[in-house]
Amino acid sequence: MSERNGERAMGNLADRIERYLKEILEQAEEGYVVLQRGYLAEFFSCAPSQINYVLTTRFTAERGYKVESRRGGGGYLRIIRLGLDPDGKFQRLMAELIGDELTENRANNLIDRLAEEELFTKREAILFKSIFADRIFADCTSLCNQLRARMMKELLANMCRDDLEE
């Protein structure tokens, strides 16, 4: 099997694991699920490291998840779907997620999450992604990610305003 086909197979496996985890999270009334890494690896006929890969790349805070884990024989994974509310917790959460610097990739993940939560339309998400693209910051020096973070915080603060009419 060529390296390219191996990448595609890994991608398909990662997609299947992600879909499965999202489906069971949708069904969880508590907003979280507790699973065993070994069970998932056995279920998908893969190495536990592949489960870790999916969790660390697709279940990040920017994408609206928190993953807690404990390794060992009685180890577990807890995947928590982070909720967004309009009471100011949203802005604090976003400020914590964004921090002082924000890369294009992290900005895109955050924008995707907000579109998924229907805070942005698909059209707005495309526009926002273009604003935060690396090509826009091409002439910027080492402060690009700091500027992107400030811009994202400003954007989110304005999106949460109650006095804006639709």
Residues 17-53 have pLDDT tens digits of 999 999 999 898 877 899 988 899 999 999 988 998 9
What is the tens place of the pLDDT at every residue in 50-81? 998 999 888 887 677 778 887 766 668 888 87
| Residue 52 domain flag | yes
Which of 30, 46, 81 corresponds to the end of one domain? 81
| Percent of the chain whose predicted confidence (pLDDT) is above 70 | 75
Confidence of residue 131 (pLDDT cuts 50, 70, 90): very high
Please give the backbone phi and psi of residue 33, each rounded to the nearest 5 degrees, phi first: -130, 150
Per-residue burial over 136-152, b if 16 or more Cβ lie within 10 Å, else e, is ebeeeeeebbebbbebb
Average pLDDT of span 111-136: 89
Same domain assignment for residues 102 and 154: yes
Which of 44, 60, 81 corresponds to the end of one domain? 81
Same domain assignment for residues 29 and 46: yes
Average pLDDT of span 149-162: 74
What is the tens place of the pLDDT at every residue in 77-122? 888 877 655 555 665 666 677 888 899 999 998 898 888 878 788 9
Domain count, the chain: 2
What is the tens place of the pLDDT at every residue in 5-17? 444 555 599 999 9
| Residue 72 domain flag | yes
Q: Which domain covers residue 22, as residue numbers?
A: 3-81
Contact 107, 129 (CB under 8 A): yes
C-alpha distances in angstroms, 124 versus 40, 67, 120?
A: 36, 29, 6
Q: With 0.85 as the threshold, say if the pTM is over it.
A: no
Same domain assignment for residues 57 and 93: no
Same domain assignment for residues 105 and 54: no
Same domain assignment for residues 112 and 72: no
Q: What is the pLDDT of residue 10?
A: 55
Average pLDDT of span 147-159: 81
Q: Letter for the amino acid at 64?
A: G
